[in-house]
Amino acid sequence: MKKNSGLMTPEYLQGLRDCVPAGQVRLNEDMALHTTFRLGGPADVFVCPTSADELSAVLKYLAKQPIPLLIIGRGSNLIVRDGGIRGVVVKLGEGFDHVTIEGTYITAEAGVALAALSWKAAEASLAGFEFAAGIPGSLGGALVMNAGAYGGEMCQVVDWVDCMDRGGNVRRRSNAEMEYAYRHSILHDTDEIAIGAGLNLRAGVREDIEAQIKELNARRASKQPLNWPSAGSVFKRPPGNYAGPLIESAGLKGFRIGGAMVSKLHANFIVNVGGATAADVLAVIEHVQQTVLAQHGIKMEPEVRVVGEDPAP
């Protein structure tokens, strides 16, 4: 164990293993395996519940313990610092991804990948979710962030979201109660966890829907550096402007520190071109912010989430 984790006693760990099967609790887990950036230090304890009941049991147990807790999905919008994460990381992923389709209505759990859910909708001849096919995250993260692309956003299709608080209790929030805005929902303020949702789509023609998905994915592949590990778009869109063109106009395409580089294809992507550390990425982010502010007077706000701590000196 790393520093600050002295409370991780055998009794504490056994309590976690009483909440989920023992194999779903792992120690010193390499977080590079769980982020699309493929970097970051280890998590002290890593737990993978496969159902809402397991998650609730874990959260109820953790609520009684003075141990830090982080919830993640597919790690597509996440930078883990090189010193890793003290405390417990809970991942919603495999097994937490059931999907039910009835008519034009989809009920899905938070761990399902957006791409997989888009294709399931297409197979059922349901239109309206094509925009999400290329977003490299899970439904849970998309519900929290109001993820979107190519003119579509989650708020356009969400009927309700089941939200679990840190005590393991569930409430269902309507679309209006989610208070959706650009890359924001009420869950940022309440610290609740999106564990599933109901989505209202519309009937369509399967061949047309699949063709639309393929077209959007082709557009994405031509404009985004999908061949390198990254966290997707790094900065939020500034009011009245776009992050990529601002960064490009500042002459920063190809700017590199260590293994982290501003993509030459899309300037709002920072890519891991080999051996990048979180410190490399964060240094590139800071340089981009300083340069754009100096040249354009615009403060760039990161869209990615940074967690964990730096290595001990």
What is the predicted pLDDT for the residue at 2?
44
236-248 pLDDT per residue, tens: 999 999 999 999 9
What is the predicted pLDDT for the residue at 308?
96
Specify the amino acid at residue 185.
S
Task: Clarify whether 185 is annotated catalytic.
Answer: no
The one catalytic residue among 183, 185, 192, 230 = 183
Check: CB of residue 246 under 8 Å from CB of residue 292: yes
The one catalytic residue among 179, 248, 303, 309 = 303
Per-residue pLDDT band at 65 (split at 50, 70, 90): confident
What is the predicted pLDDT for the residue at 82?
98
Q: Decide yes or no: CATH 3.30.465.10 for domain 99-209.
A: yes
Round the average pLDDT of the chain to a whole number and report it. 93
CATH numeric code, 10-91: 3.30.43.10
294-309 pLDDT per residue, tens: 999 999 999 999 999 9
Phi/psi region, residue 22 (left: phi>0; alpha: psi -120 to 50; beta: rest), is alpha
Check: CB of residue 61 under 8 Å from CB of residue 15: yes
Only one residue has tokens 């960064």, namely 247
The one catalytic residue among 56, 138, 233, 263 = 233
Which CATH topology does 225-307 take? 3.90.78
| Rounded average pLDDT over 282-294 | 98
Task: Clarify whether 183 is annotated catalytic.
Answer: yes
1-57 pLDDT per residue, tens: 344 455 578 888 898 999 999 889 999 999 999 999 999 999 999 999 999 999 999
**What whole-number distance in Å separates Cα of residue 9 and Cα of residue 55?**
21
Task: Clarify whether 303 is annotated catalytic.
Answer: yes
Q: How do the domains of the chain map onto residue ranges?
A: 10-91, 99-209, 225-307
